[in-house]
Amino acid sequence: MDGARVYIIGAGPGAPDLITLRGLRALGQADLILHDRLVSTEFLRQTRNGVEIICTTELGQCPTRQNNIHHKMIEAALAGKTVVRLKGGDPGVFGHLQEEIEALQMGDIDYEIVPGISSALGVPLAAEIGLTARGSSRSFAVVTARTADGKTNTNLPKADTLIVLMGASNLPELVEQLSLAGWDSQTPTVIIERGIQPFERRVSATLCEISELAQSAHIRAPAVLVVGKIAKFSSRQRILFTGIDPAPFRHLGQIIHWPAIAVQPLDNTGNISSALRRLAHGQFGWVIITSKVSAELFLREVDKHNLDARIFAGAKLVVSGPGTASVLQENNLRADIVPEAEGSEGILQTFCQQQDGSGTVLLVQGANAPGTLSSGLSELGLTINRLSLHTVHAHPDLGSPLPEHDILYFSSPSGVKAFWNAYGITGFQRPIWCIGEVTCEQLRRIGIAAKVVSPYVSKKANAQASLL
Ligand code: SAH
């Protein structure tokens, strides 16, 4: 069939922005996405309208599941669909790649393989553990903890550093095998659960102590075990980041993503269509977008409605800060106004300074944002049409024991509220940083002092701001 093919893509080790560009482009072509359970559902939400998405766990239990995957891929490709088989990490590392290729060849289906970053490499590195180091690690080996029939792997290769996948559930047996293979009981060892994903947890110990510590910390799959001299965590400050997207914050320290809130898109079809129609007809003088999530969802709606950037031609674009501006920029849209102060306060100040404060505003804002911006703008004489494409709620996994950290970071008032409800004052035992004044104020209300550290300004500017 013309153009129909199967892409076997490595999705990377956890975060949705660790897929390759080639993988992302292929994902954009998909009519059907068949993804493994470990793949982040974040970027699946961003796929084109009408794409069929199936998690392979829906296709039965092992071993029939694998056959069902083959069948589904071939059936869809023969029907002329572009199929993406999306696998965690790299497709060639413990990923049934060989079976799937053979099945596609038997079915005479065209296919393309797109490499990904394996969790074996990416998960340790994100914890600042490079797998080679001059003098202490000249080689590394990646090994599975289990054989195909579920037994502990007894064939452990010799290397300076060993990375073990699928080892969380048989750790004691694995450690025993390592000792038998000659590994010193005092060898540094780390285990990282859900690496580069929300609620990642890390345990470090000597080889002989790791099982016990991992067990008492309830470490479960998916986890990567690293054994060898280099298996030590760095002393860089650990920041427990409670916001939705840690990407702009990673340079501030070691980020442990502990999202306090989760986004829930709202089904708001009628309102969206009417807002887009009015925008296309030049009925809004201003479009104000108050968060990255709002920007992403709004742009997706523009696309879904078969519209493009020209829809903004008659309006001025105002965003709440540099993060939201960057989402627009990725879509080749430049915000006309990016206020210096964080959030609604900055936007209001901007409008207060405007000569011409009149006009009709499309305000794209989360459903649980306070009404202050809307009422403030109305008082200035503007007509406000509010459009909410999402709401946020406390993350369902919030409340599990907090990992060790040096700094606690908040990027929104709703994050502060959710975190406070889950942990109370006992959650606030470390210095607190936050993104700006509005979040700082929310912390003040519960009696917590915080320092404003913006990821968008230089270290020097942050230091000066904290002196004021
Ligand atoms: N093809 C995948 C590996 C599949 S086997 C890759 O290249 O990464 C599945 C195993 O990978 C899990 O049992 C676990 O050991 C490891 N794994 C995958 N994602 C992980 C993550 N985010 N954190 C820790 N371990 C992970």
Contact 138, 160 (CB under 8 A): yes
Residues in the chain: 468
> What pLDDT, in 10s, does the model give residues 370-422?
888 999 999 999 999 999 999 999 999 999 999 999 999 999 999 999 999 99
Of all atoms in ligand 1, which is nearest to the CA of residue 200? 23
CATH architecture of 5-117: 3-Layer(aba) Sandwich (3.40)
- DSSP strand pairing (254-257 vs 140-144): unpaired
**Predicted pLDDT at 416:** 97
| Rounded mean pLDDT, 341-353 | 81
Query: Selecting from 3.40.50.10090, 2.40.50.140, 3.20.20.80, 3.40.50.300, what CATH number does the domain 264-392 have?
Result: 3.40.50.10090
- DSSP strand pairing (188-193 vs 161-165): unpaired
Parse the chain into domains and list their residue ranges. 5-117, 121-227, 238-260+395-466, 264-392
Residues near 187 by beta carbon (within 8 Å), at least 6 away in sequence = 206, 207, 227, 228, 229, 231
Half-sphere exposure of 127 (CA within 13 A, CB side): 30
> What pLDDT, in 10s, does the model give residues 287-345?
999 999 999 999 999 998 999 999 999 999 999 888 899 999 999 999 999 987 767 88
Contact 119, 14 (CB under 8 A): yes
Lowest mean pLDDT among 359-363, 406-410, 441-445, 452-456: 452-456
| Ligand 1 binding pocket includes 123 (Cβ within 6 Å) | yes
Q: Classify 466 as helix, strand or coil.
A: helix
Element (H, E) at 467: helix 459-467
Ligand 1 centroid–CA 176 distance in Å is: 22
β strands within 207-299, DSSP E: 223-227, 238-241, 254-257, 261-265, 286-289
Element (H, E) at 339: none
| Ligand 1 binding pocket includes 221 (Cβ within 6 Å) | yes
222: cis peptide before it, omega within 30°? yes
Ligand 1 centroid–CA 2 distance in Å is: 35
pLDDT of 3 over the 80 cut: no
Enter the CATH code of domain 121-227. Answer: 3.30.950.10
Among 18, 19, 38, the mutation site with the greatest number of ligand 1 atoms within 8 A of its Cβ is: 38
- What CA–CA distance (Å, rounded) separates 392 from 367? 8
**Predicted pLDDT at 464:** 62
Q: b/e per residue, 407-417, with b = 16+ CB within 10 A? A: bbbbbbbbbbb
**193 beta partners:** 201, 223
pLDDT of 459 over the 70 cut: no
Contact 195, 126 (CB under 8 A): yes
**Predicted pLDDT at 9:** 97
Residue that is written with structure tokens 């007894």 in the block: 154
Cα distances (angstroms) measured from residue 342 to each of 113, 295, 390, 440: 44, 16, 20, 10
Of all atoms in ligand 1, which is nearest to the CA of residue 225? 15
**34 beta partners:** 54, 85
Report the interhelical angle of 97-106 vs 64-78 (nearest 10°). Answer: 40
Enter the CATH code of domain 238-260+395-466. Answer: 3.40.50.10090
| Ligand 1 binding pocket includes 163 (Cβ within 6 Å) | no
| Ligand 1 binding pocket includes 72 (Cβ within 6 Å) | no
Element (H, E) at 325: helix 322-330
Q: What is the pTM of this model?
A: 0.91
Contact 276, 300 (CB under 8 A): no
Q: What are φ and ψ of residue 8, in 5° steps?
A: -100, 110
| Ligand 1 binding pocket includes 40 (Cβ within 6 Å) | no
Q: What are φ and ψ of residue 192, in 5° steps?
A: -125, 115
Alpha helical stretches, state H, 380-436: 413-423
**Predicted pLDDT at 339:** 87
Same fold, 5-117 and 238-260+395-466: no
By percentage, how much of the chain surpasses pLDDT 70?
96
| Ligand 1 binding pocket includes 197 (Cβ within 6 Å) | yes
Ligand 1 centroid–CA 118 distance in Å is: 7
- What CA–CA distance (Å, rounded) separates 90 from 115? 6
Ligand 1 centroid–CA 178 distance in Å is: 20
